[in-house]
A and B are shown apart, each in its own frame.
Chain A
Amino acid sequence: MADSTLLTVEDLSVHFSTSRGTAHAVDRVSFSIEKGETLALVGETGCGKSVTARSILKLVPEPPGRYASGSIRLANPDGSSTDMLAAPMREVRAIRGERISMIFQDPGKALNPALTIGRQLAEVFGEHRLGMILERAGLDPDKARPTARRIAQQRAGATRRRVYSLTNRVTSRALQRSIDEAVMAALADTGIPNTRKIMASYPHELSGGMKQRVMIAQALACDPDLLVADEPTTALDVTIQARILELIHEMQQRRGTAILYITHDLSIVRQFADRVAVMYAGRIVESGRAIDVLTAPQHPYTQGLLAAIPRPGTPRGQLEAIPGSVPQLIDPPAQCHFASRCKWAAPACSAAVPRLLAVRPMHETACFRYESAESVGMPQEDMPARIHHEGATAE
């Protein structure tokens, strides 16, 4: 693992058992994320991008899910690394929220409807930043009384808090102020104007954009090394989406957080991501720098996806649609899953799984059109029309 690498996913497979067979939701996926960079994982419904994201935090429910193979290694500051899949649950929990956190597509569902925003954020600080809260309240974290600790952790009952505030008026106030200030600072950081009002609100009283800001404040409260963002703007209006994207970008610049950005929308990627990995039917079919993938896509699927997006110049009603639909992932055959929809498909495509190959520096794609018949071990006539590396002409 290079020094600058934060997370390495290798050979990850996630299977789900269903009544009809085993669904290969994620199939031998490998990628890595550098410190401070943004990697966008792009794909359509059911391509496995969300499952991949959840796997990183080990959030896939088992059963029906199962990590069938692979490792997800998070680099530690001391040079060692932790495999999220093999580590004991206690360790995984310590990493969640502290070093890797996540924001979701629907912030309404990710926030607890029964607690005020202030309380929810206070819990995060109590959980991960107890020392800081106590210290700022003028208490020594090592010597603080258990009651003070519990109050800071938001675990003390109402009676206990009341008794404490009566007997230790000064400390109690200092503690509350310390918590409130931490929460307010976190909220203000995300550009929420009236933090006091928001803290006293319940999630249902806020708009979608505001809830997503709260989620971001919560996710970034502990300065994680990696933020996994699972379609955080899909449910939002464009004007708000623009603000939220700006916010995430700005927070990243300021704190050096790496971001794994899951989306189905290629147009966001251009402004927002350093690198892109395109997923199709559980596999990564193309990856590279965002600008390269968007301007010179190599895999037929990426090409199709880009051509299908309506642009100002496209003649009306003449979008290049990809025919057919995504194949079933239940007990899939060993082949290129895009073969059934691909205009280049040849017998080889239905006979083996193409490897991810570099077509130029930092740009890989998994397509037989870049492989020679010898290296695959297939007869020449079964191969699709070939493209030479660097060149864009078919034979």
Chain B
Amino acid sequence: MNQHQPTIIRDRTPVSDAVLTLHDVKVHYPVKEGLLQSVTGHVRAVDGVDLTIGRGQTLGLVGESGCGKTTLGRVIAGLVEPTGGDLWVNLTAEQQRDVDRLRAVEPASMTAADRAAWQSLQTGHRLGSMSRENQRAYRRNCQVVFQDSFASLNPRQLVRDIVGRPLRVHQGLSGDRLNAKVGELLDMVGLGSQHMYRYPHQFSGGQRQRISIARALALNPEFVVLDEPTSALDVSVQAQILNLLVDLQGELGLTYLFITHDLGVVQHLSTTIAVMYLGQIAEYGPTDLVFNDPLHPYTRILRDSNPSLDGENDATEWELTGSVPNPISPPHGCRLHPRCPVARAECGWSVDDVLTDIEDRAPLLFETISRVERQDDFTADVTFDTEVSARAFADRLQASRAHDAVDRPLEIADATVSVSFREVPDATLQQLREGRLTSCTRTQNLGALPPIHETRR
């Protein structure tokens, strides 16, 4: 828990009740090396996520593989323990404001009333400190539909036992009462009680996903995490399942967290969308607005890369360069900047960015580096085999975007180049307009997505 850390107060105006509110949630996996298995670093799968899932809405969580969306889904479903941050359950809009305010206050400087409010919020709504009873109720209330319906149904159980399992566990149903309830659930998802005594492998992919949905709905949950529920299905069957999900939501008043990499599907299904990149939320807002007027370069790139059926997809200049950075030591400042087409000086350049860049683009030069001596991530002396290489390196750097971010001119002494970049705080998700949040520092400053053409390469 790190509610005592000084945190940036985010200007968010919660408008609705939330089934779940995430504050600075982190999942860091230790990387162990050597004989003694000493921890040498952490893979930051999820690295400080703030997210509110409003009651009744469908929140789409989009991102590419490795961005942490599945891990985040598993944290929410209780399958992965977060290594940091808080999950708050069932906060009203007012309570969300209270939590936001109180998190920033040191416990010592709280007034008595604040302390009492904070205490009651913690015991009543925070996973981990609320009563076991409430925690179990939340778990019952939050169910999951997994991606691969073949893998998520026990191949040795009958459909009746799969769908009826939550009922047995939580309501102690059995025999005919169980059968009746399972029959109802199967009817609800478009199957029938005649399917009860069959094994999962006797169904097609779409039908299996219906069984998964029936299981998830058995306990009348309010909140369902849909982890890429249609990505293993063909389009024609995907359409059936998406329609079913929308119908069920209308009938039962469900809240969905829809995790996917498919922009077409998320645009169709979600009311609100959160775009993830490298363990953090890059942009958050109402789906239509985010698609029509993205406020983060990454969102724009995702949208433009997605092949579309309608209209020519112009060859776009919005594209990513380079490869996905190492999640053990993600870039400083904005995480996208080394690959971003509109990155500028303020985006958080550091020594690693420069080194990675020449490793990729000038491998021969990279091989002549003999030593890198860093004071910190932003300042280092890079020594080359020859002075010629050092000059070539300095020239390269001076011609690159990163050079705008140096805080003093490069110093070249013999074969050593001293580089020093301005230190930039990590980018944070901030509200730019009503309901629109972005973590792009340039967009935050400009008030709109920076134009691509004026950006010097």
**A271 touching B313, Cβ below 8 Å:** yes
Question: Which of B264, B302, B309 lies in contact with A239, CB distance below 8 A?
Answer: B302
Q: A316-B246, A318-B243 are in contact. Are A304 and B236 (CB under 8 A)?
A: yes
B451 contacts chain A at the CB level, 8 A cutoff: no
**B268 touching A319, Cβ below 8 Å:** yes
**B65 touching A197, Cβ below 8 Å:** no
**B65 touching A237, Cβ below 8 Å:** yes
Q: A239-B301, A312-B291, A318-B243 are in contact. Are A193 and B360 (CB under 8 A)?
A: yes
Q: A197-B363, A311-B264, A319-B268 are in contact. Are A239 and B234 (CB under 8 A)?
A: no
B151 contacts chain A at the CB level, 8 A cutoff: no
Report the Cα distance A307→B310, complex, angstroms.
12
Q: Which residues of B contact A270 (CB under 8 A)?
A: 307-309
**B268 touching A316, Cβ below 8 Å:** yes
**B360 touching A317, Cβ below 8 Å:** no
Task: Identify which of A3-11, A48-56, A222-230, A260-268 touches chain B.
Answer: A260-268
State which residues 286-328 of B face A: CB under 8 Å: 291, 301-302, 304-310, 312-313, 319-320, 323-324
Q: Which residues of A contact B405 (CB under 8 A)?
A: none
Interface centre among B234, B237, B310, B324 (most CB of A within 10 A): B234
Q: A310-B267, A316-B269, A325-B204 are in contact. Are A266 and B64 (CB under 8 A)?
A: no
- Min C-beta distance of A15 to chain B, whole Å: 22
Interface string of A153-173 (1 = CB under 8 A from B): 000000000000000000000
**B309 touching A238, Cβ below 8 Å:** no
**A196 touching B265, Cβ below 8 Å:** no
**B236 touching A294, Cβ below 8 Å:** no
Report the Cα distance A309→B267, complex, angstroms.
12
State which residues 238-252 of B face A: CB under 8 Å: 238-240, 242-243, 245-247, 250
Q: Which chain A residue lies CB-closest to B304?
A: A242
State which residues 298-343 of A face B: CB under 8 Å: 304-312, 314, 316-323, 325-326
Question: Which of A44, A242, A311, A317 lies in contact with B319, CB distance below 8 A?
Answer: A242
Q: A267-B308, A306-B309, A310-B268 are in contact. Are A44 and B236 (CB under 8 A)?
A: yes
**B235 touching A238, Cβ below 8 Å:** no
Q: A194-B359, A310-B268, A311-B310 are in contact. Are A264 and B237 (CB under 8 A)?
A: no
- Min C-beta distance of B146 to chain A, whole Å: 19
**A238 touching B302, Cβ below 8 Å:** yes
B415 contacts chain A at the CB level, 8 A cutoff: no
A207 contacts chain B at the CB level, 8 A cutoff: yes
Q: A310-B242, A310-B267 are in contact. Are A207 and B323 (CB under 8 A)?
A: yes
Report the Cα distance A207→B327, complex, angstroms.
14
Q: Give the number of A-B contacts (CB < 8 Å).
A: 124
A32 contacts chain B at the CB level, 8 A cutoff: no
Q: A196-B363, A271-B313, A316-B268 are in contact. Are A321 and B243 (CB under 8 A)?
A: yes
- Min C-beta distance of A345 to chain B, whole Å: 16
**B64 touching A267, Cβ below 8 Å:** no
B397 contacts chain A at the CB level, 8 A cutoff: no
Question: Which of A195, A238, A322 lies in contact with B306, CB distance below 8 A?
Answer: A238
A81 contacts chain B at the CB level, 8 A cutoff: no
B261 contacts chain A at the CB level, 8 A cutoff: yes
Q: A309-B309, A310-B268 are in contact. Are A321 and B239 (CB under 8 A)?
A: yes
B372 contacts chain A at the CB level, 8 A cutoff: no
B424 contacts chain A at the CB level, 8 A cutoff: no
**A45 touching B242, Cβ below 8 Å:** no
Report the Cα distance A55→B312, complex, angstroms.
33
B456 contacts chain A at the CB level, 8 A cutoff: no
Interface centre among B243, B309, B312 (most CB of A within 10 A): B309
Q: Which residues of B contact A193 (CB under 8 A)?
A: 360-361, 363
- Min C-beta distance of A261 to chain B, whole Å: 13
Report the Cα distance A271→B302, complex, angstroms.
17
Q: Which residues of A contact B234 (CB under 8 A)?
A: 44-45, 264
State which residues 83-131 of A face B: CB under 8 Å: none
Q: Which chain B residue lies CB-closest to A207?
A: B323
B345 contacts chain A at the CB level, 8 A cutoff: no
A243 contacts chain B at the CB level, 8 A cutoff: yes
B450 contacts chain A at the CB level, 8 A cutoff: no
CB-defined A-B contacts under 8 Å, sample of 13 = A193-B361, A195-B363, A237-B64, A239-B301, A241-B305, A265-B307, A268-B307, A271-B313, A316-B268, A318-B243, A318-B246, A321-B236, A325-B207
Which residues of B does A touch, CB under 8 Å? Answer: 64-65, 204-207, 234-240, 242-243, 245-247, 250, 261, 263-265, 267-269, 291, 301-302, 304-310, 312-313, 319-320, 323-324, 359-361, 363-364
Top 8 A-B residue pairs of the complex, sorted by shortest distance between their CB atoms: A317-B246, A310-B268, A321-B239, A308-B239, A319-B239, A237-B64, A44-B234, A322-B236
Which residues of A does B touch, CB under 8 Å? Answer: 44-45, 193-197, 207-210, 237-243, 245, 264-268, 270-271, 294, 304-312, 314, 316-323, 325-326
